Amino acid sequence: MTAFIEREINRLSDNYQFRTPLSRKQFEIARKSLPGGNTRNNLYFAPYPPYFERGEGSKLTDIDGNNYIDFLSDFTVAICGHSNPTLIEEAQKTLSQGMSYGGCTAAESRLAEAIKDRFNSIEQLRFANSGTEANLYALLTALAYSKKNKVIVFEGNYHGGMLNFCHPNIPINAPFDTIILPYNDPAAFETALLEHGDQVGAVMIELMMNSGGCIPADQEFVDTVRKQTLAHDIPLIVDEVMTARLNYHGLQEKYQITPDLTSLGKIIGGGFTIGAFGGKEKYMRLYDTQKSGFTAHGGSFNNNVLSMNVGAASLSNVLTKDVMVMLNEQGDNLREQLNKIFYDAEVPLVFTGGGSVMNLHLAKATPISKNTNPLSAEICKLYHRFLLNEGIWIAPRGLIALSIETTDKGIHILIEKTNDFISQYRADLKGLA
């Protein structure tokens, strides 16, 4: 019944290879110095990924000259597209004034204030170089405050390359003493606190899974987590590295909760390297260099001039509230249209997500926790390879993320090609129900 998946992936891969000989050549060169030919594993897929040389608006061009409509937006980072004139002008202006000063700049506080304006839960914050780093610091900050060592996290949540709870037994995860609980299961959370509450020093959560498949948290689940962490005086960290783009004030406003600490990344840097963590002053005073006993927090690029200046310009001048509302409404409408295609065709496919981010699943019912059906991942690969040959760029895991440069024409093409995908494979997909 599933032989068609392997057969069609191989056929589509043959077509792809025919169009991308220079990418194949570059991949072989890369393998000599980079294990697996890459330094970011989520970009790899067999037999090799395309190598891009240009991005403009919502279009990407590979080194073979193939054009793709970008429906991935660098895994949610490139929310402003690839050539926003305001951000390019700010980057060029910044570069013209030099790089890497090794000193403080006014842009740091401009970006910090822009972030605080959006997140009422953040009284103070510190910058870092990635979402991974921000989450590590947020977690260590919470544990330093609580002076307890156990951490509650949730299956399918991804808090960075060293805090990955999407897959079991990852050998390079940071060695925290974690209790991994099922997502969207308030009873399991309450039970865990009854058993371990006096040892838990932090709880970390995504309000919508990122790498786990864009599965939103249930309101009752979130309310339980916040109520119980307050009752047990446990710092709650909300990871908004990806979800900050889904609401002007982050998903924490949508869920009406105030976390103790928040971690950020991706969109706050205007497309440049960045991370940030912050929250209530009682936690962040740990880093106040004017107080005795402060904890050092260094990093050569924590305040790099491009991220600070371009990030501030992005949040203040480009990603306005109206723009973000329109973008997320566009995403909700797209997800609804795609799911209608599946429903009308009576195939067991569904896009989950919220706003401008969504992920495909093979499932009879909308999943509320990580989809563990191995065939789901294979169907996502098939959909990815199909769209790849049609000049549409999404993630191999079925992730779609819109940017403010996403056009109605591009959306029409994606819907049209998804219809073609279902028409071609409808009988086989129905057999998987």
Instruction: Report pLDDT digits (tens) over 220-268.
Output: 999 999 999 999 999 999 999 999 999 999 999 999 999 999 999 999 9
The pLDDT of residue 1: 52
Angstrom distance (rounded) from CA 245 to CA 406: 15
If you average pLDDT over residues 172-180, what whole number do you get? Answer: 94
Q: What is the DSSP letter of 216?
A: B
Q: What is the average pLDDT value for the chain, to the nearest integer? A: 96
Give the type of residue at 255.
Answer: Y
If you average pLDDT over residues 291-318, what whole number do you get? Answer: 94
The pLDDT of residue 67: 98
Angstrom distance (rounded) from CA 142 to CA 149: 10
The pLDDT of residue 201: 98
The pLDDT of residue 228: 97
The percent of residues in the chain predicted with pLDDT above 70, rounded, is 100
* Domain(s) of CATH 3.90.1150.10: residues in the chain: 3-79+320-430
- Give the H/E segment covering residue 32: none
Q: 40-58 pLDDT, tens per residue? A: 999 999 999 999 999 999 9
Of the candidates 56, 45, 37, 41, the one whose C-alpha atom is nearest the C-alpha of residue 17 is 45
CATH top class, domain 85-318: alpha beta
- DSSP per position, 155-167: TT-B-STTSB-SS
Q: Which long-range contacts (CB under 8 A, 24 or more apart) does 247-256 make?
A: 247/324, 247/328, 247/355, 248/118, 248/321, 248/324, 248/325, 249/118, 249/119, 249/120, 250/118, 250/119, 251/207, 251/208, 251/354, 252/119, 252/121, 252/207, 253/120, 254/207, 255/207, 255/217, 255/219, 255/222
Task: Note if the pTM is more than 0.75.
Answer: yes
If you average pLDDT over residues 186-210, what whole number do you get? Answer: 97
What CATH fold (topology level) applies to the domain 3-79+320-430?
A: Aspartate Aminotransferase, domain 1 (3.90.1150)
CB-based contact 228:238 (threshold 8 Å) = no
Q: Reply yes or no on whether the pLDDT at 433 is more than 70.
A: no
If you average pLDDT over residues 276-287, what whole number do you get? Answer: 97
| Per-position b or e across 121-155, b if 16+ CB within 10 A of its CB | bbebbbbbbbbbbbbbbbbbbbbebbebebbbbbb
The pLDDT of residue 169: 75
* Domain(s) of CATH 3.40.640.10: residues in the chain: 85-318
Angstrom distance (rounded) from CA 332 to CA 131: 25
